[in-house]
Amino acid sequence: MFLALRELAFAKGRFSLMGAVIALIAVLTVILSGLSSGLVNDGVSGLKSMPATAFAFDQDTKTDNAFSRSMVDGKQLNAWKEQPGVEAAAPMGTSMMNAVTNDGTQVDVTFFGVEPKSFIAPAISEGRKLGAVNGLVVSETLREEGVKIGTTLTLDRIDTELEVIGFTEGQATFGHVNVAYLPLATWQMIAAGKSPAGVPTDADTKNLGFDYSSVIALQAATGSEMDLTAGDAIAKTTSMPLKESFNASPGYQAETMTLEMIKVFLYAICALVVGAFFSVWTIQRKQEIAVLRAIGAPVRYLLRDGISQAAILLLAFTVLGIAAGVGLGSAMPAGMPFDLESTPIITAAALTVILGLAGAAISIVRIARIDPLSALGGNR
């Protein structure tokens, strides 16, 4: 690394300029990683928090926004309960509605109708668990809109009044809308169009004749695997593993694919920019490389020297860029779906360094293979 370190000390301006570009790329990767994680959490955190292995939708339901389109009945639910490898199967109703709090604040909520004692019933951080017909357990993030224990949500157009009795552990959102869990019977009453104005009672949920839910949440038995294809054939459903079911939420696939494409281009730009810089820099030091080749330095020595130089530059300024990106991320406004997670940031940093080194290696190999006599002007 003798030559590499001397060049870094000699050409501070050039390497600082290149380092600034690398740092800015690292900042962008952190911001994009934070936005990706934030959008995922804001879009499907309500699903991510569930201990479900898969979800079963009605057969031939269109996959985008399938949670809202699907409608399954009790026969399909019972068919899944009898499948080998299924520990539990629970119905869940989903719908988005507008509501007004008792102080006049308008809020949007995604209702998740679940059986209070099922495995997908929400864990709470404060208040009471689901049970009462008019009780709601809402996302922790609804506190930001002034919702608290005892707040009444009046549903638009039908004027049904539901009371907040608890908050979930952490964020619970679906389609970028806060989730409100309610008993499945209450959801079925609302979905059937039989919800009364005012506070619903147990009598209102009886004899509905509405044995439907939106989807079936499935939990695999410990150490077993569910045969989703066989279960679908018997229950006449279309099932998806938990992570795959995220694509069935509104806008999830389009948002994540867009950000992933931007990140791919950003990584490609990083490799090209670093490679181009070292190509130009290596061409400018062609005489020095020729001298080293003339005195017997092998190509691998020159490659190791150049890669070491690139590694110092990439590591130092990538760390600096990540630190700046984390600082900017922590200052993001609360309304922006931004979430700093260590794994995506580490992955982005590693890819930035690896692709940068690959670009530098390609440029150095091409120059290091020159004939020393030609480079020194011996053919004149």
Give tens-digit pLDDT for 120-135. Answer: 999 999 999 999 999 9
If you average pLDDT over every residue of the chain, what do you get? 85
Residue that finishes a domain, picked among 205, 235, 265: 235
Are 116 and 189 part of one and the same domain? yes
Task: Name, in order, each residue with C-beta under 8 angstroms of 49's C-beta and a sequence gap of 6 or more.
Answer: 122, 168, 169, 170, 172
Q: Is residue 108 part of a domain?
A: yes
pTM of the complete model: 0.80
**pLDDT score recorded for residue 1:** 57
Are 112 and 141 part of one and the same domain? yes
**pLDDT, tens only, 3-49:** 656 666 676 777 788 888 889 888 888 888 888 888 888 888 899 88
Query: What is the average pLDDT across 322-337?
Result: 82
Are 20 and 141 part of one and the same domain? no
> Which residue type is seen at 33?
S
Are 190 and 300 part of one and the same domain? no
Q: Is residue 367 part of a domain?
A: yes
Residue that finishes a domain, picked among 235, 267, 288: 235
Are 155 and 304 part of one and the same domain? no
Q: Is residue 203 part of a domain?
A: yes
Question: How far apart, in whole angstroms, are the C-alpha atoms of residue 40 and residue 338?
Answer: 9
Q: Is residue 296 part of a domain?
A: yes
> Which residue type is seen at 267?
Y
Are 79 and 155 part of one and the same domain? yes
Across 6-15, 40-49, 94-103, 258-267, which has the greatest mean pLDDT?
Answer: 94-103
Q: Is residue 276 part of a domain?
A: yes
Are 137 and 27 part of one and the same domain? no
Question: How far apart, in whole angstroms, are the C-alpha atoms of residue 261 and residue 268?
Answer: 11
Q: Of 55-59, 207-211, 229-233, 336-340, where does mean pLDDT reach its minimum? A: 336-340
Q: Is residue 51 part of a domain?
A: no
> Which residue type is seen at 126?
E
Q: Is residue 364 part of a domain?
A: yes
**pLDDT, tens only, 346-368:** 887 888 788 778 877 777 776 65
Other residues' Cβ atoms within 10 Å of the Cβ of residue 238: 19
Across 13-17, 58-62, 233-237, 374-378, which has the greatest mean pLDDT?
Answer: 233-237
Domain that holds residue 6: 2-44+253-375
Q: Which residue has the tokens 């000390």?
A: 9
Q: Which residue has the higher pLDDT, 110 or 294?
A: 110
Number of domains, the chain: 2
Beta bridge partners of 72: 213
Which backbone phi and psi does 190 adopt, to 5 degrees?
-70, -45
Are 89 and 140 part of one and the same domain? yes
Other residues' Cβ atoms within 10 Å of the Cβ of residue 62: 11
Are 15 and 133 part of one and the same domain? no
Phi-psi region of 330 (alpha: psi -120 to 50; beta: other; left: phi over 0): alpha
Confidence of residue 380 (pLDDT cuts 50, 70, 90): very low
User: What percentage of the chain carries pLDDT values higher than 70?
Assistant: 89
Are 113 and 162 part of one and the same domain? yes
End-to-end CA distance of the chain: 32
Question: How far apart, in whole angstroms, are the C-alpha atoms of residue 134 and residue 328?
Answer: 42
Which backbone phi and psi does 354 adopt, to 5 degrees?
-65, -45
Are 186 and 258 part of one and the same domain? no
